[in-house]
Amino acid sequence: MIDSQAARMQTSPLNHMRCRAKLHTDEAAVEYVPKSLTSALELNKVFLRLAPLEMDLGCGDGAFLAALAQENPAHNFLGIERLLGRVRSVCRKVARLDLKNARILRMQSDYAITHLLPSGSVTTFHLLFPDPWPKRRHHGRRVFTPEFVSSIHRALIAGGLFHVATDHADYYHQIERVIAAADIFVISREQYHFPPTSFEQKYVARGLSIHRLLLRKVSPVRYARVRHSSSPN
């Protein structure tokens, strides 16, 4: 049975073509439009090469995605964004910089991870400043759930990284609780330099604190054995 979002997207190809028609040919080519919304992506066809894949979930205007792609030409970078205006911005930015290792997929992040990514295909996920839905009655709309974390874990390579950042303290604490309960990631203490997103620059300028986690995928069974063997008798 096709997911309701997939069905909606499949029934509006004309609207999608009209949106792409507003971009120049090289800009429109940055967006990857899958032939199927229920089959795993063939990543060698998305980038025409095999290379370590990093994904920017909810990539906004593409500033972070483009900066990463410029700094790491040996990696492929796939942005996920559902808002049309932002997708156009990414397409224009990537085409202007002539980045051959960056593309974008217009879709909900959780749907793409669950239904389109092969297992063990992603080196690093970046989830930066997801909508915190601050009102309590809207907390159910937050993307960071046990199911979401499980999907991220499945799609990551062994030892892959999950980079998370938010300016919202309550959401950060929820993220910590979900990660602790899942018990399939460990906090990485490695030092990485990541370029700031447009949102991050605004938040820092306003004096807001940035809460960040760098998580490394572990095998639940293997991690449990290590913890058990290292515990005092």
3 state DSSP class of 163 = strand
| Range 4-230: architecture per CATH | 3-Layer(aba) Sandwich (3.40)
Q: What is the pLDDT of residue 193?
A: 87
Q: What is the pLDDT of residue 111?
A: 95
Q: What is the pLDDT of residue 220?
A: 72
Low-confidence ranges of the chain (pLDDT < 50): 1-4, 6-14, 17-18, 223-226, 228
Which residues participate in catalysis according to the annotation? 131
Q: What is the pLDDT of residue 132?
A: 86
Q: CA-CA distances (angstroms) from residue 188 to 17, 149, 184, 191?
A: 43, 16, 13, 9
Q: What is the pLDDT of residue 13?
A: 44
Q: What is the pLDDT of residue 127?
A: 97
Q: What is the pLDDT of residue 217?
A: 98
Q: Which distant-in-sequence residues (6+ apart) come within 8 Å of 90 by Cβ?
A: 30, 59, 61, 62, 65, 66, 79, 81, 104
Pair of tokens at residue 69: 């792609």
Give the residue carrying structure tokens 């370590």. 52
Q: How many residues does the chain have?
A: 233
3 state DSSP class of 170 = helix
Pairing verdict, β 185-187 and 211-217: antiparallel
Phi, psi of 221 (to 5 degrees): -70, -50
Q: What is the pLDDT of residue 56?
A: 98
Q: What is the pLDDT of residue 16?
A: 54
Strand order in the sheet with 185-187: 102-106, 76-81, 53-57, 122-128, 156-166, 211-217, 185-187
Pair of tokens at residue 117: 């990514």
| Single pTM value for the model | 0.85
**Segments making up each domain of the chain, as ranges:** 4-230
Residue burial 150-170, b: 16+ Cβ < 10 Å; e: rest: ebbbbbbeeebbbbbbbbbee
